[in-house]
Structure 1
Amino acid sequence: MGQGVGKKTGKDMTKPDKPTGKSLELITSSTNPQIKALKTLERKKGRREQNAFLAEGARLIEEGLSHGWKPQTVICSPDGLERTFVADLISRAEDQGARRLLVHERLLSQIARKDNPQTLLATFEPRQLTLADIPPQHTKKGTLLALYQVRDPGNLGTILRTSDFAGVNGVILIGDCCDPYSFEGVRASMGSLFAMPFYSASETEFLEWKAHQASPMIAASMNGTTPHHEASYGEANLIIMG
């Protein structure tokens, strides 16, 4: 009672049935199991348990689809469906296996934890890349950026965005870094999370990997004496910050 749609049994409540035509029912209650499941994505535990993270807005979702990330669910309000670009994105996501969820507009703010949410949200499957996934050519030419224990997700998202703009080959997250898939990290990346590959490693894994790399390692330090534009860079570089 008060759940907005009929009860379902025997299947994952986070994956709504794919709609046909205009038969999709509008979810209006925050107690609906699918809405409750989406709300858990605000926490790292929820993202891990559901193997999903949230992207907000048509621009971010378009970036995710264009870069081949796997969409799981697209969530929109009835007003959003009236926009051609949004409707086209939903169709693209559904073609890639996503399910559509039609919700009352006030539920979007509860899911995204924002007072003025976007009219379109989507969940994507996260990627878990390690140092073994770094393409060999990316260690021989260009720049890799290594981040040591970055704790602020907004800063991490901004670094991913800046790295994307600067043409960095990839970002290595060393040690106990914050979760790039947090709401704050995804927002701050402004879509670059989907474009910039990032790899996770422990301190030991990173040091063992670096021992087999020929590229020089350049560290950014508050106590450094050489300005970044005067440093000696090679054809391949590894810059470490923390």
Structure 2
Amino acid sequence: MVLLLIALASLIGMHNATPNPPPLPLHIELDAGVLAVTGKNDTQSINSNLDVQYDFDRNTLKVAGDYLNSSTEGVDSALHWTAGARYENEFITASRIYLDYYSEADPFIGYVQRNNEGLGYQYAIHKDSTVFWWAEIGYLHSDTNIVNRTEVFESKARFASGVAWRFDTTWSLEGELEYLFNLTYANEDLMSYEFALTSLINSKFAIRTAYIMRHMENPYQGSRDQGTTMLSLVATF
């Protein structure tokens, strides 16, 4: 009888020690917006963003991309896209190192394609259930194919910071700033910032309004500033 009780206890212990595995820590967010205006000049605008994040142990793998196109009377007036991947490792609490690679294009600013390779350090300044504030410093190497010119290779020092604030059960506000100091050429710094207001419809869908500003200290062509306002539907899985 004693041996039977020991055997039963061992089986129960083994069962409790191996619970059902938790669901995969995968997060997918997709948003898209379409605007069409008819009248004297027909105008269309399409924008979409995809963010995929997978967490394993103290590591995070992210894949992201965005696309924006605006046209008037069939002639493009704005075109921008970005696609890339990023790996992060939390080596101590609140501190992460990252390694990323992404490509981007914006012919209206003057480059057909730019390939970027970066590495750096991220620190979580404040993080709780409603606020996440972070800052990053790093190094970026860029290979840019300029419109009607040869390739340009540049080294850049990168600084970025962002905050996400959920101030209500259905409303949240996000802001992000990035500054790239050009270490290869003087007066070629880049800056961008973004603000986004999101309102939840339910657990899966939300409406997001965003404003993005990109600034080139010495643009290859066109204006130094490029501002974009977007309204889109967000789906989260």
**Considering the TM-score relative to the shorter chain, is it more than 0.5?**
no
TM-score by length of structure 2 reads: 0.19
Which of the two has higher C-alpha Rg?
A: 2
Larger strand proportion of the pair: 2
The two structures have a TM-score, normalised by structure 1, of: 0.19
